[in-house]
Amino acid sequence: MIALIPARGGSKGLSGKNIKLLNGKPLIAYTIEAALKANSILAVYVSTDCAETAAIARKHGALVPALRPAYLATDSALAIDLYQFMLLEWEKEGLYVENFMVLQPTSPLRKVKHIEEAIALFYEKKADSVISYTPEAHPISWHKYISEALTFEPIFDDKLANRQSLKKSYYPNGSIYIFKKNLIQQNQYFSEKSFAYLMDRKYSVDIDYQDDFDYAAFLLSKQTEL
C-alpha cells in the first residue's frame, strides 16, 4: 500500500498549520512517522506546493516529488483532482498503484494500529474504499441552518425525541482514506463496496483552527505510546 499525505501550504483557518510545531515537532511529522512505522505501507509520499513543507517532509523520511502545480493548490481545488494527478505521476515513475491510502497531516492522534487495521479491513472486505468515521456526539436531526436574521431553517423533518431513542450517527474524522485506483478514476469516493473504519473520538481530532491545535497538544501530552 502506498500512502499519500496531502499538505497544501496555504490555510485560512490556521496559517502554516502543516509545519507548525506541535509539542516541539512539525504537525506533518506525526503522520509521516506513523505511516513509516506501519508494516503495510511500502512508501510514503507527501504532495505539497510549499518548498518549506517539502524540506521538512523529506527530513522526516517522506518521498516528495516536484512541487504540486498551482492549480491543485487553490482553495477551490478538489482533493480528488490531486489523487488523479498523483496516480498519473506514479505511473510516469513506473509505479503502477492499484490501491492507495490518504493520510491527512491534520490528524496527529492517528496511531500506527489505526493505519494497519484500516488496511486489513480494506483487504478483508475486498473494498473499493475504506474511510475512517467516529461517533457523532449529538443526533444529526438536531442540526439546523441559521439564517442571516438568526432564525432556524430545517435540514431534517422536526421530530421531538430523546437522544437515547435516536439511531447513532457517525461522521468522517478526516484521518484515513483508502481507495482503489479505478474508483478515483470514476470520480467517486463511495460504492456499494465502501466500508467505515471506526475510530474513537479521542483519536479523531482534525485540526482546522487554533483551538483544535491546542486540544491536540493537550491530548498528545497525555499519551505515551505511538
Mean pLDDT by 10 residues, the chain (226 residues): 93 86 96 98 96 97 94 91 96 94 97 98 98 92 91 81 73 97 97 98 95 95 67
- Average pLDDT value over all residues in the chain: 93
Name residues whose C-beta falls within 8 Å of residue 226's C-beta, 6 or more positions apart in sequence. Answer: 33, 34, 37, 111, 112
CATH of domain 2-134+171-221: 3.90.550.10
The domain spans of the chain are 2-134+171-221
Q: What pLDDT, on the 0 to 100 scale, is given for residue 140?
A: 85
Asked if residue 139 lies in contact with residue 171, where contact means CB atoms within 8 angstroms, the answer is no
**What amino acid is encoded at 17 in this protein?**
K
Claim: this prediction has a pTM higher than 0.75:
yes
Tens digit of each residue's pLDDT (9 = 90 or more) over 72-85? 988 889 999 999 99
Tens digit of each residue's pLDDT (9 = 90 or more) over 143-155? 899 999 999 999 8
Q: Distance of alpha carbon 182 from its chain centroid, rounded?
A: 20
